[in-house]
Amino acid sequence: MLISSNKSWNLLAAFAGIFFTLAFAPFDQPYLAPISLCVLFGCWHKTTPKQAFLRGYLFGLGSFGIGVSWVYVSIHEFGGANPLSSGLMTCLFFGFWALFPALAGYISVSIRNGDQGLKAILVIPVIWQLIEYFRGNWMLDGFPWLQSAYSQLDTPLAGYIPILGACGTGFLVALTASTVVFIFQNKKHWPSLYLLLIALWIGGSFLKTVKWTHALGNPISVSLIQGNISQDQKWLPENKLKTLMLYKELTEANWNSSIIVWPETSIPAYLADVQEWFLRPLSKSAEQHKADLIVSLPTYNDLTKEKYNAVLTLGKDSALYQKIHLLPFGEYLPWQPLSGFILNKLGMKLGNFTPGKKNQVLLKAGGYSFKTSICYEDVFGALGIIGLPEAAYLVNVTNDGWFGHSIEPYQHLQMARMRALETGRFMLRTTNTGVTAVIGSEGKIIKQAPLFKTSVLNETIIPMGGMTPYAKLGDLPSLIVLPILFFAFAFKTH
């Protein structure tokens, strides 16, 4: 009977993980996040640390097994690995990340040790969020996909995002679930807990009405160009000129815009190869039309033999930004020489880039400085607030063409929305194949282009000034309070 009961709880944890994924884009059922965590935390009640580890792992398999299944597309269709190797690597990938909710379960049950007071409510969300933060910012240079807060951009809890960011807001999601579980598990009436939940969610609704930043000037017309060049065609030498002419023609048709943005590595050549005959005339045309053009391409240093993933502004203000936070296994190889040996055996050829220097001078377009991010740099909150308050808006150029017709482009767009809301600034997000979008300072999508369609997105943005509380302090408040609570619980005498 006990074995049967354990199997039922284990199965329930796995299904909770599946439903947790449905809280995120493109499924967009945000209330499933706290509900799924309620189920998971309930599965950890009156069990052993080892059993909690197993149920946390099953939750992670359900969640990451669906939520990051797009890794297969990248490895197989564009990385060149065979189906068997691609499937195995994909399973290893989400199996690895499933260890983190498992670890949260093991530590939580070990520390809680039957407590029924405040500790019983707080210990799980504290540990849950600390492990989410570690996974999202440190492990393999950070993998913040499917972190709780990203599902809450359209709920009352979004009101806390400009104050606490993704880390603090994720804690509130877990706190909601833990409090609900505590209420159901204890027969004693706890009116203060009901009031806590009501105040938490109503308070978030009120905070959504607060304007943390302000307009600096008049609206600026922008054009975002989505060339829709397939990843398997993009770097073929015979397609280079055709690609360049496509972007040039689409740009010339939109010289009436003040800012025109091309996506990540939209120029399939090194800067030195196209600077004189292509970029210099284009820059002069932009200046003549009183427009600023933002393009992206790789650069190569002949002296140091280093490659950089870069963004270049053309027109009145010409300057270069080099990507700081590189993509592991995509732009550099961690765990050398093991990772290089395995990928060579699989026949996968990946980039070997050098990170740019931190605190680079902000680029400028449309008369204002802006914060630049390339590819998945926009999924890191701490990186997104560097350069504020000088930056009046955000620009992200990316290439989600690596993931085909999967859910990844929508997840990535959702995470970009978080950066706009955290900073109180508009974001121009231009991608090769989608989803290109203009995001407002409140994190709402103003306009977006469809996937896999050549498009030009024309819109206006407002340059913003001022600082949200999160832009001022970042994750520091959360990283002070949560560890203090953790150590207080871990070393509390009984």
Q: What is the pLDDT of residue 490?
A: 81
Does residue 435 have a cis bond before it (omega within 30 degrees)? yes
SS3 category, 296: strand
Q: What is the pLDDT of residue 358?
A: 87
Q: What is the pLDDT of residue 338?
A: 46
Kindly state the DSSP code that residue 357 receives in the 8-state scheme. P
Q: What is the pLDDT of residue 345?
A: 47
Q: What is the pLDDT of residue 189?
A: 66
| C-alpha to C-alpha distance for 469 and 40, rounded to whole angstroms | 32
Q: Where are the domains of the chain?
A: 2-211+474-490, 214-467
Q: Sign of dihedral through CA atoms 108, 111, 117, 119?
A: negative
| C-alpha to C-alpha distance for 191 and 205, rounded to whole angstroms | 21
Which among 196, 49, 127 is positioned nearest to 488, based on CA atoms? Answer: 127
Strand partners, 438: 428, 447
Strand partners, 135: none
Kindly state the DSSP code that residue 327 receives in the 8-state scheme. P
- Residue-wise pLDDT tens for the chain (494 aa)? 444 578 899 999 999 999 999 999 999 999 999 999 999 999 998 899 999 999 999 999 999 999 999 999 988 887 778 899 899 999 999 999 999 999 999 999 999 766 666 778 999 999 999 999 999 999 988 999 999 999 999 999 999 999 999 999 999 999 999 999 998 888 666 788 899 999 999 999 999 999 999 999 999 999 999 999 988 888 889 999 999 999 999 999 999 999 999 999 999 999 999 999 999 999 999 999 999 999 999 999 888 889 999 999 999 989 999 999 888 877 776 655 544 444 454 444 556 889 999 889 999 999 999 999 999 999 999 999 999 999 999 999 999 988 989 999 999 999 999 999 999 999 999 999 989 999 999 999 999 999 999 999 999 999 999 999 999 999 999 999 999 999 988 876 44
Which among 417, 416, 415, 406 is positioned nearest to 452, based on CA atoms? Answer: 406
DSSP character string of 389-447: TT--EEEEEE-GGGG-SSSHHHHHHHHHHHHHHHHT--EEEEESSS--EEE-TTS-EEE
Q: Which residues contact 303 (CB under 8 A, 6 or more apart)?
A: none
Which among 265, 263, 279 is positioned nearest to 308, based on CA atoms? Answer: 265
| 53 sits in which H/E element | helix 49-67
Strand partners, 459: 222
Active site residues: 264, 323, 375
Domain 214-467 sits in CATH 3.40.50.720: no
Contact 412, 400 (CB under 8 A): yes
Contact 97, 128 (CB under 8 A): no
Percentages of the chain per state (helix, strand, coil), in multiples of 5: 50, 15, 35
| C-alpha to C-alpha distance for 293 and 101, rounded to whole angstroms | 44
Q: What is the pLDDT of residue 329?
A: 72
| C-alpha to C-alpha distance for 150 and 166, rounded to whole angstroms | 7
Q: What is the pLDDT of residue 350?
A: 54
Q: What is the pTM of this model?
A: 0.93
Contact 41, 59 (CB under 8 A): no
| C-alpha to C-alpha distance for 118 and 131, rounded to whole angstroms | 20
SS3 category, 284: helix
